[in-house]
Structure 1
Amino acid sequence: MVSFGGIARKFFGSANDRRVRSYRSRVAAIAALEESIKALSDEQLAAKTQEFKQQLAEGKTLDDILAPAFAVVREASRRVLGMRPFDVQLTGGMILHDGDIAEMKTGEGKTLVATLPVYLNALSGKGVHVVTVNDYLASRDAGIMGRLYGFLGLTTGVIVHGLDDEQRRAAYACDITYATNNELGFDYLRDNMKYDRGQMVQRGHNFAIVDEVDSILIDEARTPLIISGPLDDRSDLYNTIDAFIPALTADDYEIDEKQRSAIFSEVGTEKLENLLRQAGLLKGESLYDVENVAIVHHINNALKAHKLFQRDKDYIVRNDEIVIIDEFTGRMMPGRRYSEGQHQALEAKEKVTIQPENQTLASITFQNYFRMYAKLAGMTGTAATEAEEFSNIYGLEVVEVPTNLPIQRIDEDDEVYRTFEEKFKAIIVEIREAHQRNQPVLVGTTSIEKSELLAAMLKKEGFTQFNVLNARYHEQEAYIVSQAGVPGAVTIATNMAGRGTDIQLGGNIDMRLERDLEGMEPGPERDAKEAAIRAEVKQLKEKALAAGGLYVIATERHESRRIDNQLRGRSGRQGDPGRSKFYLSLQDDLMRIFGSDRMDGMLQKLGLKEGEAIVHPWINKALERAQKKVEARNFDTRKNLLKYDDVTNDQRKVIFEQRIELMDATDLTETVADMRHEVVDMLVTKHIPERAYAEQWDAKGLKEEVQRLLNLDLPVEDWVQEEGIAEDDIRERLMTAADAAAHDRAERFGPEIMTYVERSILLQTLDHLWREHIVNLDHLRSVVGFRGYAQRDPLQEYKAEAFELFQALLANLREVVTAQLMRVELVREAPQAPEPPPVMQAHHFDPTTGEDEFAQPAIFAADEAIDRDPSNPATWGKVGRNELCPCGSGKKFKHCHGVLTA
């Protein structure tokens, strides 16, 4: 029976089809301009940029000039890059300009698509940010597409790790800025820790296009960017507690793999209390007495470290440190650390050096950072399965853009085996057969452990011609992935390592040329070698096509359908043939945790013998239902976390806006006076209660507080004895005395120095109190869930108490600032710049190179620009590997003076 919705879709098309059709008229308008634009000279084409800017200045909107602007980019791209955007790419560009997500399959040219809306929106002069997942892609895309923008008279900047503040400020000042999501977030946080507006590097959040938007806004949404400073060393405590866990038995704790939680049973709690008592760590009688809160926290972390975190799956041990493995990409994340002592618990477990815990100085999630942009757009090959989350959290609609050529890939039904061993044996047979017919194979695994297990099994079977691409070897990631389409190539990749680099049948010719011609001078010899490489790649492509294109073999299903689709999507680019198949076993995590416990017995009863597989569309549908459940659970988790983080974010905005106002203000006299008056008001209200008799007034307490906060020795007790005096009279006398003292101080030292001191004290006090406030909010969030047991909504409780804490922060700010300003004594010397917090660390990683980008503590101050002499390498300082070489050759540093030698 066909539903009414199905009939409607058949006649009118889906909502997505109708959205895509709505762009046809504008695509036709762009096509109509093509011949007239082609007739322009290079100078006339470049002059169009100024013409468009003039039209905008005269009142036209970006939508008004979309068609001619896109036509200009199309023609400029043909001339400069040798690529003419297809009609579907124009459609993708318009979706991005509208502030939505363009879902385009792998190989459809998303990098080129972005140039259309980027150019159009950059005409406004407010800056456009193009966001990538790593420094390699940011540098690569900025380098290639920057030629196009430069031809049209626009400037392009790139933000990668290793730049100083001057370089960052210059890059953000460009019309278009390519950067990673991490660098953008950290620059925002660091800007809001500066003491001078002129030191800030960003200039606003106008329009951002996020590449691999699902990876950044979904996969990384739960992990906040954190800038932190170290606390005291407590390694002895971690080692002592870690030693208790091996002494426990299975009856002492309960593990829930679904919820990733571990709790102690009553028996285990009693055993731990005895162990802690012997070690002198237990205060009071019970482990759960309030004074043992910190100990309980550390013990729970130790239990999780031993029972929930697996070595070589969740983390690896390298160079005497624990390096986290990203659960979605399988990449190492040097520099990132689990928070709240969990990382230290893992270090104690693995007997490596325990690094001190850190105090959060500033933090923000990607969810809240990217929602600051006036307009946000994204592109990826896989977003449709997360459409609800993109819509609910970011207000972004996902629009699927049709492929330029029909997809030829064959997606086969899953093969389900009973055990791991049977599944891997079948995969090895399939790999060998594909290799023998010269078909390139990409094998996707979900962890380092699985990729190395498969590699070891292949070697055991005598198979030696394959590449392993996982978090251990990703230094060569981009090149290995680019050549995965060579006939007979076998590439084992952990969870889509190498995204952002196309797998082209026959091999990626651009990367072959870059690698094989590196260091060769232009001339006949280089030309001849280039021609030979092009001919070889063409021949290899024909061979790969004849073998059936890229064959994607997946070793198990991921929790998210989107990750599976990413893997599948590597095959069948631009109308190429291809094939994909998933091999599963009942021992896989997804089947074991979310599948039916009765399935194994059922399959045995049905007569499924060892080595045989069950293949049926029903299995695929059942797995898809399990994946949908997991996706829904993960979405609910992220949505719930965002509700809590929104509370912090609202307060963060107030604090950061207040900081900017303080830095911009030329005169802070009124602000400081208001604070002083509120402190006086608070003191009077506290010590002279409303409607209280004069003999009930706390004159002594008021006098002491006036001395402490206002630095004034006043005869308050005598005033109280005066007949008929009212609380308003006392309030007035206190304010008059305080104002007079403040005025006298300002007169003695002059308005300029006084304003400087007021600004310094306000900013430093605000920062100090805000950091304490962040810690308090973290502690509140960790315990507020227990309010649910009392039938109270934890979120509402959190909001209410967070508001009270924020009110206390503001009251504390008024008191501390007033007390300091009423005591400050100055000498007439040139003011010293306020010192920033001494040591701070940003948790950041480069997923392409695996380099630990923020491993060393950095002092975030305005670094002086390096004065580099091209002829003297000693003056260059630290040069980023993807920066242009300071010698002036025009090559990247890594291809010039920074080339690595054996």
Structure 2
Amino acid sequence: MLGIAKKIFGTENDRTIKKLRPLVQKINDLEPKFEAMNDDALKGQTDVYKQRLADGESLDDLLPEAFATVREAAKRTLGQRHYDVQLIGGITLHRGQVAEMRTGEGKTLVSTLAAYLNALNGKGVHIVTVNDYLAKRDAEWMGQIYGFLGMTVDCINNYEAFGNQRKAAYNCDITYGTNNEFGFDYLRDNMKFSVEEMAQRGHVYTIIDEIDSILIDEARTPLIISGPTDDKSELYRTIDGIIPLIDEEGYDVDEKARTATFNEEGNEQIEDLLNERGLFEGESLYDVENVTVVHHINQALKAHKLYVRDKDYIVKNDEVVLIDEFTGRMMDGRRLSDGLHQAIEAKENVDIKPENVTMASVTLQNYFRLYDKLSGMTGTAETEAGEFAETYGLEVLVIPTNRPIQRIDDEDVIYRTEQEKFKAIVDDIEEKSAKGQPILVGTVSIEKSERLSEYLTQRDVPHRVLNARFHDQEASIVAQAGVPGAVTIATNMAGRGTDIQLGGNLEMRAHQEIPETATEDVRQEQEAKIKAEIAELKEKALKAGGLYVLGTERHESRRIDNQLRGRTGRQGDPGRSKFYLSTEDDLMRIFGGDRLKSMMSSMKFEEGEHLTNRFMSKAVERAQVRVEQRNFDIRKNLLKYDDVMNDQRRTIFEQRMEFMTDDDVSDVIEDFRHQLSEDLIATHIPKKAYAEQWDVEGLNVAIKEAILMDVPFDKWAQEEGIADEEMLTRLKKAGDDAFDQLSSGLDDSEMLRAQKQILLQVIDKNWREHLQQLDSLKSVIGMRAYGQRDPLNEYKSEAFTLFDNLLTSLREDVTKAMMNLLLNVQMQRQQRAQNEQQAATQQAAQNASRTLKNEAGQASPSAARRARSPMDMVGTATAAAGSSAPEASSSETSSKSDPKTASTGELTKKQLIGVSRNSLCPCGSGKKFKHCHGKL
């Protein structure tokens, strides 16, 4: 019934597209107007639109004219005109939705429409690509349109410096870059100490190319900025040597869930092996003393049993480099956490880099949800529409193709063994290549691509391999994959970003074949020659059937398979796709391949005979759906945990930004000091408690640690009728007096700067420690499920408690650091004053000695008696030193006041400041000042 209704009324997607047609027609109607403008008039439209925005019009009001302007600029700069379906794509992006557009429909050009329109408000547009090459290429390529219209454009990537150059890129109207770089810059900015040092200027609007690859495939791994810890290389190598010694019955591996765990038998073997190596403590493997070793053993098991070389990672230049399972690209600089990467390095016997401590982190989900408006485009989004809606609030709109699709998708063929499958694949490739049909072969791992390459080499079939090992040649290999008879083997074609054009790619060939030194005439002549050759080759490829896409097995994600298929049949070209499977493929094996293999054997399938069955293809698709759902559940669960941290992250980052932008944070410092006093009083002098129940001694110790001062709580506590409120009032006043005394005479601007620096540094230190605590909590919280408690709710509760502790630590640490700094500054000033005093004394003594010698023969005895002694001169020198001289030396303080009778408030104000670090402490303890009240 539903199918009949769709045929009559169309799908919701069809109805949405229909509603957009009048707007497209409105843009088309404006084309003659803009075609009639000269270049200067067309360029001037940008200023006109900006003024209209300032006068109150909205971006929606400007859309038709802005899109028509961009279309005309594209015609004049790139020689390309936006199709009507591309205009629909641009409208979709502007509305903050996901545009699903087939490969070859010109998504890169589509982005210019929405980017230009949204850049008119001057707040910046970020365009996200999957790698640095595409960011640079698109910024230069599409930048011709933006530049023509007076817009500034730049790109950020791994190789450019940070600082002013980075900031300048973000200050452009349109900024290209990868998802990782945008995310890491956000984290770096929130570790800076002034707004001027920050690169990004906000998160207003972003367009994400290959949005499914970035927001779904890569979203399982958070972005982390980390710092190294202690080197444990020997421990990793020792533990790595243990794993091969454990019997297969000692552990369980679940490939579906990607887990590997030791069982009871394995635990016993581990205990014996650890004992032999002196790494076992206590009575049980799971005693607290063995937690670290057990953790590393579990990671080593995963490294050996779950992570496969040339599939999950490669070894390059003595380093373990991870491979993106969805794109097949190397992920340089990306490392697995919790010691797992180190375990793989030990397994491969390469240099082991120290583990890292998290300094800042954010998931891609939570980073991109910072943007006021988020949009994206890809060739395959409909299968993940539910996740886009639930996680990001994004709707998916499937844009029709410019020309009808002529691609033929054959049913999957299934072989009994992988060996039989590969033989059939090689036969098919050899046959199609011989008749001049270009072939794109998709594999799911480097290992499979290199194995297939060996088979083709044995048959003398020319071919090229594209995988993580040949990452740098990616663009040129893909660009020429449409040449007649070309055979290209690619590991996961997701997000390659370069179209496979039948006959070859003009731009790529021109770049490779025409020298940079060639004159314009020579260049045009050569380009015309290449264009003619490509047209001839395209005709041959079309006659041979167009591009043939051959999949060597099904990926666990339908989107990756669809992206591979989508490489053929672009812009109405003919094409064909086919997948070869075997019961030994990973996906088939995990989801019932053994049963199918037994069935094929019982049905007496001969070697090389295959099964073609529509129901089997549907069964494979159902298996993919189950894997996708499981992966979605994993991402959703991870996001729930990260949302807890994200709320805290935003609170800290917003507070940090507020402190950075404030000129004066002295009120915050005072507030922290007062709150600390309240916390200490509440802890040691509870409300409604009797005086004899007060912990006066503990309060004294805590105050001395936090505010570096003695307060006469003993004396106050003995006063009749005194309560906790009065104690708090006196404590706050004593703290304020001590702060004022220590900060007296200091430069106000320097003081304000120091307060801000301390505030930010203490926040960063405590936030790093908090992240480590949350990581540790997350790793063990799952155990709460055994006690019939929801781990997520437990995590929320525990994380809230930890965050509350973080805020308490902030108040205490900021107060302590501030008082320490002031005490240090005052002691340095005191030391300088003492040095000046000693120098003046010596100079005065020398002057007096010379005076006495000069007057000795002339002065009468009475005159000699009236002459000042060296001691008198010391007094004069002290007076000359001015107010910077100490009020009293340490010895004078000791003789003038008895520490047992002097009030502790006076000790702090008068005696504490004027004491040399190496003098005896004025409290009478007999210790040096630096080891007593001057201890930092």
Which among 472, 475, 478 is matched to residue 478 of structure 1? 475
Aligned AA (1:790): G
Taking the aligned partners of 2:538 and 2:645, their CA distance within structure 1 comes to: 54
Q: Secondary structure at the match of 2:490?
A: strand
* 1:829 Cα offset (Å): 14
**How far did 1:741 drift?**
1.6
Matched, 1:448 2:446: yes
The TM-score normalised by the length of structure 1 is 0.90
Q: Distance in 2 between matches of 1:722 and 1:712?
A: 21
Match of 1:276 in 2: 274
1:509/1:430 CA distance change after superposition, 3 Å: same
C-alpha separation in 1, matches of 2:502 and 2:698: 83
Which structure's residues are more often helix, by fraction? 2
Q: Deviations over 1:474-522 (max 9, x none)?
A: 2111001000000000001111177100000001111111111132322
Is the counterpart of residue 779 in structure 1 residue 776 in structure 2? Answer: yes
Find the counterpart in structure 1 of residue 402 from structure 2. 404
CA distance in 1, matches of 2:827, 2:131: 47
Counterpart selection for 2:698 from 697, 701, 719: 701
Larger radius of gyration: 2
Corresponding residue of 1:157: 154
Per-residue CA shift, 1:780-812, capped at 9, x if unaligned? 001001111111110000011001001101100
CA RMSD of aligned residues (A): 1.5
Q: Write the letter of the residue equivalent to 2:292.
A: A
Offset of residue 57 of structure 1: 0.9
The answer to whether the Cα contact below 8 Å between 2:312 and 2:322 also exists between their aligned partners in 1 is: yes
Q: Structure 1 residues 417 and 686 mapped into 2: Cα distance closer, same or farther (>3 Å)?
A: same
Rounded to whole Å, the distance in 2 between the matches of 1:261 and 1:85 is 49
Provide TM-score, normalisation by structure 2.
Answer: 0.87
Alignment of 1:681-692 (within 5 A): 681-692=678-689
Q: Deviations over 1:430-451 (max 9, x none)?
A: 1011011100000000000000
In the alignment, residue 668 of structure 2 is paired with which amino acid?
Answer: T
352-361 or 631-640: bigger deviation = 352-361
Look up the match of 2:819. 822
The verdict on how the C-alpha distance between 1:670 and 1:524 changes in structure 2, with shifts beyond 3 A counting, is: closer
Query: Which of 610, 614, 628 is the matching residue for 1:617?
Result: 614
Which residue in the other structure is 1:515 paired with?
Answer: 512
Q: Please give the alpha-carbon distance, in whole angstroms, between the structure 2 residues aligned to 1:601 and 1:6.
A: 38
Matched with 2:858 is: none
1:37 corresponds to: 34
**Number of the residue aligned with 2:598:** 601
Displacement of 1:155 in angstroms is: 1.0
Cα distance between partner residues in 2 of 1:40 and 1:737: 76
* 8 Å Cα contact 2:742-2:826 kept in structure 1: no
1:277-316 mapped onto 2 (5 Å cutoff): 277-316=275-314
The CA distance in 1 between the partners of 2:266 and 2:124, in whole Å, is 58
Cα deviation code 1:823-877 (max 9, x no counterpart):
323659999xxxxxxxxxxxxxxxxxxxxxxxxxxxxxxxxxxxxxxxxxxxxxx
2:127 corresponds to which of 126, 130, 133: 130
Shift of 1:163: 2.6
Aligned-pair CA distance for 1:525: 3.0
Q: Distance in 1 between matches of 2:109 and 2:783?
A: 51
Structure 1 residues 24-73: Cα deviation after superposition (integer angstroms, max 9, x where no partner):
11001111111112111111111111111111111111111111111111
**Among 379, 385, 388, which residue is 1:387 paired with?**
385
Q: Is the 8 A contact 1:438 1:488 kept in 2?
A: yes
> Structure 1 residues 449-458 or 34-43, which shifts more?
34-43
Q: CA deviation at 1:769?
A: 0.7
Deviates most, 394-403 or 816-825: 816-825
Tell me if 1:577 matches 2:604: no
C-alpha separation between the residues in 1 aligned to 2:540 and 2:593? 44
Distance 1:689 1:497 in 2: 63
Q: Residues 536 and 520 (structure 1 numbering): CA distance in 2 closer, same or farther, change over 3 Å?
A: farther
Q: Which position in structure 2 is the counterpart of 1:723?
A: 720
Once the two structures are overlaid, the 10-residue window that deviates more, 30-39 or 800-809, is 30-39
Q: For residues 425 and 773 of structure 1, do their structure 2 counterparts lie closer, same or farther at Cα, with a shift above 3 Å needed? A: same
**2:736 alignment counterpart:** 739
- Counterpart of 1:170, as a letter, is A
Cα deviation code 1:211-259 (max 9, x no counterpart) = 0111111111011111111111111111111111111111111111111
Q: Deviations over 1:729-780 (max 9, x none)?
A: 1111101111122223333213211111111111111101111111110010
Matched residue type, 2:457: K
Higher relative contact order by CA 8 Å / sep ≥ 6: 1 or 2?
1
* Paired-residue identity, %: 59
Structure 2 counterpart of 1:180, from 157, 178, 181 = 178
Within 5 Å, give how 1:32-431 maps onto structure 2: 32-161=29-158, 162-431=160-429
Once the two structures are TM-superposed, the CA of residue 427 in structure 1 deviates from its matched residue by 0.5
For 2:717, the aligned partner's letter is V
User: Which has the larger displacement, 523-532 or 553-562?
Assistant: 523-532
Q: Following the alignment from structure 1 to structure 2, what is the Cα–Cα distance between the partners of residues 405 and 343?
A: 48
CA contact (8 A) 2:494 2:560 kept: no
In the alignment, the residues of structure 2 paired with residue 500 and residue 425 of structure 1 have an alpha-carbon distance, to the nearest angstrom, of 31
Structure 1 residue 664 displacement after superposition = 0.8
Q: Please point out which of 481, 488, 493 is paired with 1:491.
A: 488
| 1:413 and 1:581 in contact (8 A); partners too | yes
Q: Which residue matches 2:544?
A: 547
Provide closer, same or farther for how the CA distance between residues 95 and 498 of structure 1 changes in structure 2, counting only shifts above 3 A: closer
Alignment of 1:766-805 (within 5 A): 766-805=763-802
Letter of the 1:414 partner, please give it: D
Q: Which secondary structure does the structure 1 equivalent of 2:745 belong to?
A: helix
Q: 1:850 matched to which residue of 2?
A: none
Q: Which amino acid aligns with 1:305?
A: A
Instruction: For residues 179-218 of structure 1, give each alpha carbon's deviation from its aligned partner in whole angstroms, at most 9, with x where no partner exists.
Output: 1111111111111111111100100000000001111111
SS in 2 for 1:432: helix
Letter aligned with residue 728 of structure 2? R
Structure 1: which 5+ residue stretches go unaligned? 832-902
For 1:759, the equivalent position in structure 2 comes to 756
1:469–1:497 Cα contact (<8 Å) kept: no
Higher alpha-carbon deviation: 111-120 or 71-80: 71-80
* Partner Cα distance (1:770, 1:691) in 2: 35
Report how far residue 291 of structure 1 moved: 2.3
Amino acid at match of 1:573: R
Deviates more, 1:13-22 or 1:572-581: 13-22
Q: Give the letter aligned to residue 276 of structure 1.
A: L
Which residue of structure 1 lines up, in the alignment, with residue 890 of structure 2?
Answer: none
Correspondences of 1:548-567 after superposition (within 5 Å): 548-567=545-564
Separation in structure 1 between the aligned mates of residue 688 and residue 763 of structure 2, nearest angstrom: 35
Q: State the alpha-carbon separation in 2 of the partners of residues 334 and 54 from structure 1.
A: 45
Structure 2 unmatched runs, 5+: 830-936
Structure 1 residue matching 2:605: 3-state secondary structure: coil
Matched, 1:467 2:464: yes
User: In 1, distance between residues paired with 2:828 and 2:694?
Assistant: 46
Distance between the aligned counterparts of 1:518 and 1:448, measured in 2?
A: 34
Deviating runs (4+, > 6 A) in structure 1?
A: 828-831
**Distance in structure 2 (CA, Å) of the matches to 1:830 and 1:577:** 83
Residue 583 of structure 2 contacts residue 594 of structure 2 at CA under 8 Å; is this kept in 1?
Answer: no
Q: Secondary structure, in 3 states, of the residue corresponding to 1:389?
A: helix
Q: Amino acid of the residue matched to residue 436 of structure 2?
A: N
Q: Structure 2: which amino acid aligns with 1:318?
A: K
Does the 8 A contact of 1:160 with 1:179 survive in 2?
yes
Structure 1: distance between partners of 2:544 and 2:667: 78
C-alpha separation between the residues in 1 aligned to 2:349 and 2:753? 50
Helix, strand or coil for the counterpart of 2:465? strand
**Are residues 1:670 and 2:658 paired?**
no
